[in-house]
Structure formats: structure tokens, C-alpha cells
Amino acid sequence: MMGKLKVYADRMSQPSRAVLIFCRFNGIDFEEIKVDISKRHHLSPEFAEVNPLQKLPAIVHGSFNLSESHAILVYLASAFPGIADHWYPSDIFRRAKINSVMDWHHSNLRHGAGPATGRSLNPKAAAEAEKVLLSSLSKLEDIWLNGDGSFLLGGSQPSIADLSMVCELMQLEVLDEKDRSRILSPYKKVLQWIEDTRTATNPHFEEVHNILYRAKKKFEQQRSRVAETGTELSNKMGGHSKM
């Protein structure tokens, strides 16, 4: 007996959300343990015993500890019975392609999407991140979504790569609607893919993302106050984009 799975997560963290949605959608029995990045709980000695890298998400399954969201998703898809094959296919060629997309994600899309939400915190860094993000969206549109199916690599159902990357792009919800539209609207395939992945994993997708929607309203209110008073916008999103 491995014992009940424990998932250490902050729902404001993109990769944390991907792991939580995967667990909920696939009926995995687990305990969600909140680690609040904004309060620096991930830097506590207690959490360092779970993950010495002190980043989220992390899991404990019996005596087994694991960090890094892609590794966690691979483990969950492989270790628990009854997980549909489309999430992480048994076919080695298909599996290798999914691995390649997830590796690409880390050095491209993730490198751009997270920092791009910190515009008011560091405008120069945000502008550089946006260049990476736009380049990544273009490649996502023209290469990874260039297939017959609705999902990455032409899949007819989502894989762990779809879930991870869509959760990444959902972080753009916190941007001003004009900025979000300016960034995403040219990429019609990407927008449709986001909606298809949302639909395929609901109601869990919406439930796990509720915290992000609440943050979006908070930032909208702050932006309104800035427009009225000219005070500086407080943006703490950068602190949540942790692996």
C-alpha cells in the first residue's frame, strides 16, 4: 500500500493547477495541501523536507516524493490504474512526441507566459517576455496544433501536455482585457484549443481556476483605482509563477 497521495500546491501556480485538474478529472484519491507562495510558505523548513528545491507543485505518495509538474503528471498517468491512454500514451512514438512538446514548453512558452503577466512590476522584463510569448504562440499555432485533431500533435483527446500548456496560458487572464486580446486574438487555433481543453476537463477545469478568476477581478478593480487616482498598480503575479 502506497498510502493516500498528497499534492502540495498553490492554485495561483500554473503547474499546480494542471496537476490538480488531472487528479480530479481522473478520480485520483488525494489530499490537497495548500502552500501559499505569496506568504512564502514554500520556503519553510517543513516544505523543504517535501521538496528541497522549494518549488511547487510537489507530491508525496507513501515514501515517494516528487517535484516538477511534468514529471508528476507522467508519474500520475503511469502509476494509477484506469487512466485513459490518451493522457500519456503507451505507444512509445506518441509518448516521445508528448515529451518533446513538454520540453519545448519549459524553454519557450513557460519562459514567456509567466513573466509577461508582471508588466507593472518590471515593464522591461515583461516586454522581453512578451516577445518570447508571441514567438511561442506562433510556433504553437503553426507546428504543435497543425494536425487534424483538436489537441496538440493532432490528438482527438487531450494529453498531459495539453493540460500543462493551457494552464500556462490561462495565467494571461489577469492581464488587462485589451492586452490579453492583443496577445491572443491573432492565434485562432490557440484560442479554440484553450476552449476545447477547458470543455474536455470540465467541471474540474473551472473549479480549479476559480482562484484565478477572483484574482482577475481584483486586478481589474486595482486598474480602475489607478485610472481614477493615478496611484501605482500592485501586481504580485510574478511570485506565483513557480514550478
Lowest mean pLDDT among 9-23, 38-52, 75-89, 101-115: 101-115
Mean pLDDT across 215-233: 75
Q: How high does pLDDT run on average in the chain?
A: 90
Mean pLDDT across 3-16: 96
Strand order in the sheet with 30-34: 30-34, 5-9, 58-61, 64-67
Q: pLDDT category, 235, cuts 50, 70, 90?
A: very low
**Predicted confidence (pLDDT) per residue in 132-187, tens digit:** 999 999 999 999 999 899 999 999 999 999 999 999 999 999 888 899 999 999 99
**Predicted confidence (pLDDT) per residue in 180-219, tens digit:** 999 999 999 999 999 999 999 999 999 999 999 999 888 8
pTM, to two decimals: 0.89
Domains of the chain, each with CATH number or no CATH: 5-79 (3.40.30.10), 86-204 (1.20.1050.10)
Q: Which pLDDT score, from 0 to 100, does residue 117 have?
A: 59
